[in-house]
Amino acid sequence: MAAQIYSKKEVKVKVSPNLADYQETHASFNWQEASKDVEWFPNGGLNAAYNAVDRHIKTARKDKIALIWEGTNGEKKQFTFHDLYKLSNKFANLIKGKGAEKGDRVFIFLPRIPYLYASFLAILKNGSIAGLLFSAFQEQALLDRLADSGAKILITNTELSKRLENIRKDLPELKEILTVDTAEFEAELGKQSEEFTAIATDPADFAFMLYTSGTTGKPKGVVHQHYAIVAQHATARYVLDIHDEDIYWCTADPGWVTGIAYTILGNWSNGATSVIHEGRFDPDKWFQILADYKVNVWYTAPTAIRMLMGAGDDLPKKYDLSPLRHILSVGEPLNPEAIHWSIKVLGLPFHDTWWQTETGCISIANYPAMDIKIGSMGKPFPGIGAAIVDDLGKTIEDGKEGNIALKPGWPSMMKAIWQRQEKYDSYFVNGWYLSGDHGYRDTDGYFWFIGRSDDVIKTSGERIGPFEVESALIAHPAVIEAGVIGKPNELRGSIIKAFVVLEKDSLQKVKDPQEAQKLKDELSQFVKKHLAGHAYPREIEFIDKLPKTRSGKIMRRILKARELGQPIGDTSTLEEY
């Protein structure tokens, strides 16, 4: 079936796009040229945070609003680039005084408050490595990440710090916990100098790390280098199409890579006035923010879009959304209905973008000046080579399904998996970086997403490893074993479904349906409480036995096929079934 095309020819251009012609830019683009759009130190050093904020202090952007912040309870604050510069310098002096050195891991565990952004910048300016922890994380998720990274300092608040009480003893390398909402902290921060000279880090020095999930094992630390700023700058310019006069809102949390690359680095490097909303998703509030702050460029995610659609078409009519010029989506497949809806309700199509924690910047995208094939992820970013390859890394002809692969060499390709060289190496096959996603390319060069090639779950756009959830379930005394899959869901893309094998006594108990429901609720709560608020199974099914390979690996593929009523496929490696 031919794809529906949203042609850009008929669109009245409000502002000429930064990327006027995809083919032309694709042909002429090179990273060396793009590197000149950021500022290098005379000795060849490059610091990402210096580029996001400090360099603007010498220009007319100094007193421009960098951050428009709205808190959970409606509090409002604004920070100019100069304000951010001074605040992050104070933070840098403070953590330096606490012993943070170059290469030390300094982690942030905070809601989306201004101190999160200032401390992130500070850590990078100090040459330390920033680690981000999503505020929904609980004990187990925190322990895994802080222990593996050997974090030295943690920046958090009083409420969230309580989640560390039981695990602190297991974190010998963690020397300092700073709680930013205390009077002592305020007093200490207040004493710091507003001047700090950003370290002239080497472009290849580590800047930040994020833990992300694969199929097996604990989450792994994806590490990015300072040089990544070159790619984040270029993509914010050409894909987000940020112009100096824009008000820009990216709804992502910095606990995920989108919130780092495009609510801190790429956006500010381009000098964009950026909106941050601390509170949770709420349709009314979101439309209100778009209207109140006259947002021009909006970057969000499919689950949020579907929830906005679900709120009805009358709601957006209450707001003046006419300042919107360019809208984008990332994180999971963007359904055609979402684009049709946005055209109808907002007068604009959502532009899908594809990338990953590991790629560090938008890698495949739809551009303002390029026709959209509705349902496609678009074309590779100029400067990034993309292809569909087989499992041996051989390119596959157009139209055929295979692995979505990128040619290494773009500046924000992950620099390491923290202390796991083998894991890092396993991403590369025959000179290609393999994404773990399946898709195809059509004869016009557009890429189409099919699905993951592994068991990674995307729920509401967030990436969850089944192993983490299984491990959390097993920690409950009633559970012997668990197998976890993503079950397709219209609103959230997928929900987490757990198949659980119970110990004897519980098995007896759950013969009573009421008891069964009680235990399911208890297990969901248990995961929520110990692992993370967003990574719990919304559906649980008790089963006698999990399908396993002869070597004892849970075959989630079979659980999934059974759940969806699909053929089970090759079971030759199955234990007995």
Interface residues with ligand WT7 (CB under 6 A)?
212, 256-258, 330-334, 352-357, 377, 435-437, 449, 452, 458, 463
CB of 162 to ligand WT7, least distance (A): 27
CB of 433 to ligand WT7, least distance (A): 12
Residue 159 Rama label (left phi>0; alpha psi -120 to 50; beta): alpha
Contacting residues for 37 by C-beta, under 8 A, at least 6 apart: 230, 233, 234, 237
Helix (H) / strand (E) element for 189: namely helix 183-191
Q: Closest CB to ligand WT7 among 195 and 444? A: 444
CB of 111 to ligand WT7, least distance (A): 19
Cα separation values, 368 from 209, 262, 267, 359, 576, Å: 31, 17, 17, 22, 53
CB atoms within 10 A of CB 544: 7
CB atoms within 10 A of CB 124: 32
Q: Closest CB to ligand WT7 among 210 and 510? A: 210
Q: Closest CB to ligand WT7 among 379 and 463? A: 463
Q: Which of 563, 412, 422 is nearest to 486 (CA)?
A: 563
CB of 268 to ligand WT7, least distance (A): 18
Dihedral (CA of 259, 25, 21, 334) sign: negative
Q: Closest CB to ligand WT7 among 436 and 445? A: 436
Cβ atoms of 349 and 360 within 8 Å: the answer is no
CB atoms within 10 A of CB 206: 22
Cα separation values, 184 from 178, 179, 181, Å: 10, 9, 9
CB of 265 to ligand WT7, least distance (A): 13
Q: Closest CB to ligand WT7 among 114 and 331? A: 331
How many Å apart are CA 269 and CA 55, to the nearest integer? 9
Cβ atoms of 263 and 254 within 8 Å: the answer is yes
371 by Cβ neighbours in 10 Å (0-12 / 13-18 / 19+) ranks as: middle
Cβ atoms of 151 and 177 within 8 Å: the answer is no
In 3-state terms, what secondary structure has residue 114? Answer: helix
CB of 149 to ligand WT7, least distance (A): 17
Q: Which of 55, 24, 91 is nearest to 229 (CA)?
A: 55
In 3-state terms, what secondary structure has residue 154? Answer: strand
Q: Closest CB to ligand WT7 among 413 and 500? A: 413
How many Å apart are CA 59 and CA 67, to the nearest integer? 17
How many Å apart are CA 442 and CA 542, to the nearest integer? 43
CB of 481 to ligand WT7, least distance (A): 27
Q: Which of 447, 319, 332 is nearest to 388 (CA)?
A: 447
Phi, psi of 329 (to 5 degrees): -140, 150
Q: Which of 236, 463, 250 is nearest to 358 (CA)?
A: 463
CB of 361 to ligand WT7, least distance (A): 9
Cβ atoms of 461 and 493 within 8 Å: the answer is yes
Q: How far apart are the first and last CA of the chain?
A: 39
Q: Closest CB to ligand WT7 among 70 and 437? A: 437
Q: Closest CB to ligand WT7 among 120 and 355? A: 355
Cα separation values, 209 from 69, 160, 415, 423, Å: 25, 20, 10, 15
Q: Closest CB to ligand WT7 among 405 and 502? A: 405
CB of 383 to ligand WT7, least distance (A): 17
CB of 353 to ligand WT7, least distance (A): 6
CB of 212 to ligand WT7, least distance (A): 5
64 by Cβ neighbours in 10 Å (0-12 / 13-18 / 19+) ranks as: middle
Q: Closest CB to ligand WT7 among 17 and 255? A: 255
What are 229's two structure tokens? 């700023």
